[in-house]
Amino acid sequence: MPRNSNEEERAKGSIPDKLRHEIATTFNLKGSGLIVLTSCSHRGVVNAVRQVQTTSGVKKVHAVIGGFHLAPYKDDYVRETVSSLKEIDPDYVIPLHCTGEPFYEIAKAEMPTKLLRSYTKTRFVFEA
């Protein structure tokens, strides 16, 4: 059960996720910019990155890594996300588990030098 559900919601048993939350961790790599690690990006990977930029005051994004939760969406929405990430202009985009193959294929065509593929046991080292 989500901790932020009220008593009435908890009494119903199973509760659909209202996506009121999101978890992302960010590091500011000296001289390179922000590294944004998302969980599943239910509220949007672009929203997470923009929130981090606003909160930190740092505009430069070095890497966006995580699940982008785009697998269930149509190509038009995925293209919008890729376009917005291009505007943010991170050095690296590393999609993970729930991102979906359409994102990878579109991003590979739109930003081939920024997109990195990650697999089980892949290790990325970012140095300042």
- Provide the domain limits for residue 32: 21-110
The tally of domains found in the chain comes to 1
- Residue 60 to residues 39, 92, 124: CA-CA distances in angstroms? 20, 12, 19
Q: Is 51 exposed, middle or buried, given 0-12, 13-18 or 19+ CB atoms closer than 10 A?
A: middle
Domain assignment present for residue 119? The answer is no
Check residue 43 and give its pLDDT: 82
115 in Cβ contact with 108 (< 8 Å)? yes
pLDDT tens sequence across 30-78: 999 999 999 888 788 999 999 999 999 999 999 999 999 898 889 999 9
Domain assignment present for residue 121? The answer is no
pTM: 0.82
